[in-house]
């Protein structure tokens, strides 16, 4: 009798445990767990990470981002001229338009003939070179009509030297030992550092941030050198902005503390520099694995990362993608679009921008119609949109390494998203070297063989044409893939 009771008790425990696991809620359909569980085809329980105080706008979950350099985008360098490109960008699949600073630029201590975009002389003004308030309002309206979003570049840490604040509120600025205004960094001689210990400055800055949301209905901000401004200010600013409308906030920083209350997305600076080093043959797939493992430990699962092969700083100061990445630039763009994070495209990348745009002077992008990179980025953006496994933050699928023979030249992973009616898989194989590679996927059977090439949508043959009959199905043997130098395969189902 005792033995029967013991067996009954153990069965009851097993039943209850299984039932509880089955009822574990999931966030956005995602179930985050160990690689072992995912590879075994199990539907894992929800992450136990604490919920954030702020909420990421729902429209951002599958979004990408495009940075616009208004000055260099067209010969005119105006809002009106840029607006003509919006239908093309919409067709390409762009979701978020990020405008570099649109405010008047200080003339005092100006660098070059036009000055730095980041030397702001009026936080509520518009650079007359770009247009006026009505022009900007029409641009915002057109972006929204095309079902895209717009965020502005915000420069909170410093102002230009003839910003009226300097005369009206000198206490808002940092002073040196002599009581003089000072630059935040020696090389930034065209701007003066602000003192965020002053409550008056904080309130002014929040009011200015709210101004563009209330008056022009913008959708958020990219915040320049966000780590140089106290996180307590950003927390306060986010609460005030969300009280007007839910906004999207991008930090030019890589700080986990930002994601608790203030920011939705951070720059993936470390990842970017890692890709540059991979292109030079200095780093490899093992370094990528270490990077993603570290990020999983440091950041909450709702944190977005902006992945990029170029931006305005990298292009102007460190070189074009071809200069920095050479023949690897496409493979690394694919990597940046398929690992966790939101891919960025900088002005002109879709036309093969092959020059460093001057930062302080006019230097128009030379647009080439029907450039191969246009089709390339269009397919990459569609890939992300159509596959929930590649969506952002907690809405995307977990990235798990595929089992291949040890090869630090190849990044091989799969991202899996469990949905109500199906499971979405995206398998990514990238050769991170200038020599051909061949790999055998040892655990392919766990994911199945019926994948399609994401770029051609043709059924992918893992066997090279060799198959064997097994249980009335053609099973590819072996599960091998050949990759050209800097080659890549993205497979979906």
DSSP 315: I
Element (H, E) at 67: strand 65-68
Sign of CA dihedral 131, 133, 137, 140: positive
15 pLDDT higher than 80 = no
What count of residues does the chain have? 493
Q: Cα-flanking dihedrals φ and ψ of residue 343, to 5°?
A: -75, 140
Mean pLDDT value across residues 292-319: 96
Q: For 374-428, what is each residue's pLDDT tens digit?
A: 999 999 999 999 999 999 999 999 999 999 998 999 999 999 999 999 999 999 9
User: What per-residue confidence (pLDDT) applies to 17?
Assistant: 41
- Which class for 205: exposed (0-12), middle (13-18), buried (19 or more C-beta within 10 A)? buried
Residue 341 has pLDDT above 70, yes or no: yes
Give the model's pLDDT for residue 31.
Answer: 33
pTM of the predicted protein model: 0.88
User: Is pLDDT above 90 for 132?
Assistant: yes
For the stretch 172-186, pLDDT in tens is: 999 999 999 999 999
Q: How confident is the model at residue 320 (pLDDT cuts 50, 70, 90)?
A: very high
Per DSSP, the three-state class of 288 is helix
Q: What is the CA radius of gyration of the chain?
A: 25
Phi–psi pair at 70, nearest 5 degrees: -55, -45
The model's confidence at residue 67, banded by pLDDT at 50, 70 and 90, is very high
Q: Which neighbouring-strand residues pair with 468?
A: 475
Whole-number average pLDDT of the chain? 89
**pLDDT confidence of residue 472:** 46
């Amino acid at each position: 009798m005792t033995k029967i009771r013991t067996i009954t008790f153990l069965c009851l425990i097993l039943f209850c445990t299984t039932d509880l696991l089955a009822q574990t809620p999931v966030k956005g359909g995602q179930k985050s767990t160990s690689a072992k569980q995912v590879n075994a085809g199990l539907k894992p329980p929800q992450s136990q990470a604490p919920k954030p105080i702020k909420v990421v706008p729902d429209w951002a979950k599958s979004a990408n981002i495009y940075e616009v350099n208004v000055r260099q985008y067209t010969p005119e360098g105006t809002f009106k001229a840029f607006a003509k490109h919006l239908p093309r960008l919409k067709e390409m699949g762009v979701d978020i338009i990020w405008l570099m600073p649109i405010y008047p630029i200080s003339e005092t201590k100006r660098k070059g003939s036009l000055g730095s975009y980041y030397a702001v002389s009026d936080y509520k003004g518009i650079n007359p070179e770009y247009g006026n308030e009505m022009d900007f309002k029409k641009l915002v309206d057109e972006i929204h009509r095309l079902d895209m979003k717009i965020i502005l570049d915000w420069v909170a840490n410093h102002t230009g030297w003839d910003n009226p604040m300097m005369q009206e509120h000198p206490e808002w600025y940092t002073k040196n030992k002599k009581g003089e205004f000072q630059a935040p960094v020696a090389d930034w001689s065209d701007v003066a550092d602000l003192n965020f210990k002053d409550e008056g400055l904080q309130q002014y800055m929040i009011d200015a941030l709210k101004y563009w949301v209330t008056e022009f209905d913008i959708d958020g901000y990219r915040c320049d050198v966000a780590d140089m401004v106290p996180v307590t200010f950003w927390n306060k600013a986010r609460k005030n902005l969300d009280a007007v409308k839910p906004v999207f906030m991008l930090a030019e920083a890589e700080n986990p503390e930002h994601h608790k209350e203030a920011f939705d997305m951070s720059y993936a600076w470390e990842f970017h520099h890692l890709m540059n080093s991979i292109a030079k043959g200095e780093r490899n797939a093992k370094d990528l694995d270490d990077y993603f493992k570290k990020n999983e430990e440091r950041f909450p699962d709702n944190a977005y990362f902006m992945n990029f092969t170029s931006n305005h700083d990298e292009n102007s100061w460190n070189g074009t993608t071809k200069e920095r990445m050479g023949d690897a630039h496409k493979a690394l763009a694919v990597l940046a679009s398929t690992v966790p994070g939101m891919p960025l495209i900088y002005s002109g990348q879709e036309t093969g921008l092959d020059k460093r745009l001057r930062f302080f002077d006019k230097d128009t992008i030379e647009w080439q119609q029907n450039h191969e990179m246009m089709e390339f980025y269009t397919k990459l953006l569609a890939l992300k949109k159509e596959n929930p496994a590649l969506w952002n933050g907690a809405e995307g699928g977990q990235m798990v390494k595929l089992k291949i023979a040890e090869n630090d030249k190849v990044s091989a992973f799969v991202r899996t998203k469990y949905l109500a009616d199906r499971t979405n898989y995206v398998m990514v194989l990238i050769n991170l070297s200038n020599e051909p590679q061949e790999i055998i996927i040892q655990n392919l059977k766990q994911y199945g063989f019926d994948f399609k090439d994401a770029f051609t949508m043709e059924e992918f043959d893992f066997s090279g044409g060799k198959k064997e009959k097994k249980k009335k199905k053609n099973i590819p043997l072996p599960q091998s893939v050949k990759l050209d130098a800097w080659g890549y395969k993205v497979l979906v189902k």
